[in-house]
Structure 1
Amino acid sequence: MADWGPVVVAVMLFVLLSPGLLIQLPARGRVVEFGNMQTSGLSILVHAILYFALVTIFLIAIGVHIYAG
Protein backbone atom coordinates (compact mmCIF):
# COMPACT_ATOMS: atom_id res chain seq x y z
CA MET A 1 0.00 0.00 0.00
CA ALA A 2 1.20 3.49 -0.82
CA ASP A 3 1.50 6.10 1.91
CA TRP A 4 0.09 9.33 0.47
CA GLY A 5 0.26 11.32 3.73
CA PRO A 6 3.57 13.08 3.05
CA VAL A 7 2.51 13.96 -0.50
CA VAL A 8 -0.84 15.42 0.55
CA VAL A 9 0.65 17.39 3.45
CA ALA A 10 3.51 18.77 1.34
CA VAL A 11 1.23 19.86 -1.52
CA MET A 12 -1.34 21.48 0.77
CA LEU A 13 1.32 23.41 2.69
CA PHE A 14 3.08 24.43 -0.52
CA VAL A 15 -0.12 25.91 -1.91
CA LEU A 16 -1.14 27.59 1.35
CA LEU A 17 2.31 28.99 2.12
CA SER A 18 3.13 30.38 -1.31
CA PRO A 19 4.25 33.96 -0.58
CA GLY A 20 1.64 36.46 -1.68
CA LEU A 21 -1.15 33.95 -2.37
CA LEU A 22 -2.98 34.08 0.97
CA ILE A 23 -0.57 36.04 3.15
CA GLN A 24 2.88 37.56 2.85
CA LEU A 25 5.06 37.69 5.92
CA PRO A 26 6.92 40.15 6.06
CA ALA A 27 5.27 42.33 3.46
CA ARG A 28 6.80 45.22 1.56
CA GLY A 29 5.06 48.01 3.46
CA ARG A 30 3.63 46.30 6.53
CA VAL A 31 4.34 43.28 8.67
CA VAL A 32 1.58 41.16 7.08
CA GLU A 33 -0.39 41.65 3.87
CA PHE A 34 -3.20 39.47 2.57
CA GLY A 35 -3.56 38.43 -1.07
CA ASN A 36 -1.25 40.98 -2.64
CA MET A 37 0.37 38.50 -5.14
CA GLN A 38 3.79 40.15 -4.71
CA THR A 39 6.86 38.76 -3.01
CA SER A 40 10.36 39.59 -1.82
CA GLY A 41 13.46 37.60 -0.99
CA LEU A 42 12.90 37.95 2.75
CA SER A 43 9.30 36.73 2.51
CA ILE A 44 10.45 33.71 0.46
CA LEU A 45 12.95 32.87 3.21
CA VAL A 46 10.36 33.26 5.99
CA HIS A 47 7.79 31.13 4.13
CA ALA A 48 10.44 28.45 3.40
CA ILE A 49 11.34 28.24 7.10
CA LEU A 50 7.64 28.02 8.06
CA TYR A 51 7.09 25.34 5.39
CA PHE A 52 10.01 23.24 6.65
CA ALA A 53 8.88 23.58 10.28
CA LEU A 54 5.26 22.62 9.54
CA VAL A 55 6.22 19.69 7.28
CA THR A 56 8.54 18.42 10.00
CA ILE A 57 5.82 18.72 12.64
CA PHE A 58 3.13 17.03 10.53
CA LEU A 59 5.26 14.22 9.13
CA ILE A 60 7.71 13.39 11.92
CA ALA A 61 6.12 14.55 15.16
CA ILE A 62 2.47 13.80 14.40
CA GLY A 63 3.05 11.13 11.75
CA VAL A 64 0.32 11.79 9.18
CA HIS A 65 -0.38 8.66 7.10
CA ILE A 66 -2.92 8.18 4.31
CA TYR A 67 -2.96 4.73 2.78
CA ALA A 68 -4.48 4.05 -0.63
CA GLY A 69 -4.93 0.78 -2.38
Structure 2
Amino acid sequence: MADWGPVFVAVVLFILLTPGLIVQIPGRMRVVEFGNLQTSGASILVHSIIYFGLVAIFLLAIGVHVYIGS
Protein backbone atom coordinates (compact mmCIF):
# COMPACT_ATOMS: atom_id res chain seq x y z
CA MET A 1 0.00 0.00 0.00
CA ALA A 2 1.27 3.43 -0.89
CA ASP A 3 1.14 6.30 1.59
CA TRP A 4 -0.48 9.24 -0.21
CA GLY A 5 -0.65 11.52 2.85
CA PRO A 6 2.50 13.51 2.07
CA VAL A 7 1.40 13.99 -1.54
CA PHE A 8 -2.05 15.31 -0.58
CA VAL A 9 -0.67 17.59 2.14
CA ALA A 10 2.00 19.03 -0.15
CA VAL A 11 -0.38 19.63 -3.08
CA VAL A 12 -3.11 21.24 -0.96
CA LEU A 13 -0.66 23.50 0.87
CA PHE A 14 1.06 24.44 -2.39
CA ILE A 15 -2.26 25.53 -3.91
CA LEU A 16 -3.40 27.41 -0.80
CA LEU A 17 -0.05 29.13 -0.23
CA THR A 18 0.65 30.23 -3.79
CA PRO A 19 1.50 33.94 -3.39
CA GLY A 20 -1.25 36.16 -4.76
CA LEU A 21 -3.81 33.41 -5.37
CA ILE A 22 -5.72 33.69 -2.08
CA VAL A 23 -3.48 35.86 0.07
CA GLN A 24 -0.15 37.61 -0.35
CA ILE A 25 2.09 38.35 2.63
CA PRO A 26 3.67 40.98 2.36
CA GLY A 27 1.58 42.69 -0.26
CA ARG A 28 2.66 45.47 -2.58
CA MET A 29 0.59 48.23 -0.94
CA ARG A 30 -0.42 46.63 2.39
CA VAL A 31 0.99 44.00 4.72
CA VAL A 32 -1.66 41.46 3.65
CA GLU A 33 -3.47 41.56 0.30
CA PHE A 34 -6.20 39.18 -0.83
CA GLY A 35 -6.63 37.79 -4.35
CA ASN A 36 -4.47 40.29 -6.25
CA LEU A 37 -2.80 37.60 -8.46
CA GLN A 38 0.55 39.39 -8.24
CA THR A 39 3.72 38.39 -6.43
CA SER A 40 7.10 39.71 -5.34
CA GLY A 41 10.36 38.23 -4.20
CA ALA A 42 9.62 38.98 -0.55
CA SER A 43 6.23 37.28 -0.70
CA ILE A 44 7.74 34.20 -2.37
CA LEU A 45 10.26 33.96 0.48
CA VAL A 46 7.61 34.40 3.19
CA HIS A 47 5.21 31.91 1.59
CA SER A 48 7.96 29.30 1.12
CA ILE A 49 8.95 29.57 4.79
CA ILE A 50 5.31 29.18 5.85
CA TYR A 51 4.92 26.24 3.43
CA PHE A 52 8.00 24.47 4.81
CA GLY A 53 6.83 24.99 8.38
CA LEU A 54 3.33 23.66 7.73
CA VAL A 55 4.60 20.66 5.75
CA ALA A 56 6.98 19.82 8.59
CA ILE A 57 4.18 20.10 11.15
CA PHE A 58 1.69 18.00 9.18
CA LEU A 59 4.11 15.29 8.08
CA LEU A 60 6.58 15.01 10.94
CA ALA A 61 4.74 16.17 14.06
CA ILE A 62 1.18 15.08 13.28
CA GLY A 63 2.05 12.25 10.89
CA VAL A 64 -0.67 12.46 8.26
CA HIS A 65 -1.13 9.14 6.44
CA VAL A 66 -3.59 8.25 3.66
CA TYR A 67 -3.57 4.71 2.31
CA ILE A 68 -5.36 4.05 -0.98
CA GLY A 69 -5.68 0.63 -2.52
CA SER A 70 -6.14 -2.91 -1.38
Q: State the TM-score bracket (shorter-chain normalisation).
A: over 0.9
Tell me how far 1:68 sits from its aligned partner. Answer: 0.8
Tell me how far 1:39 sits from its aligned partner. Answer: 0.3
Structure 1 runs not aligned, ≥5 long: none
- Aligned residue pairs: how many? 69
User: Where do 1:9-48 residues align within 5 Å?
Assistant: 9-48=9-48
Structure 2 runs not aligned, ≥5 long: none
2:39 alignment partner AA: T
**Segments ≥4 residues shifted beyond 6 Å:** none
**Local SS of the residue matching 2:20:** coil
What is the CA RMSD across the aligned residues, in angstroms?
Answer: 0.2
| TM-score for the superposition, normalised by structure 1 | 0.99
| TM-score for the superposition, normalised by structure 2 | 0.98
What is the identity percentage for the equivalent residue pairs of Structure 1 and Structure 2? Answer: 74
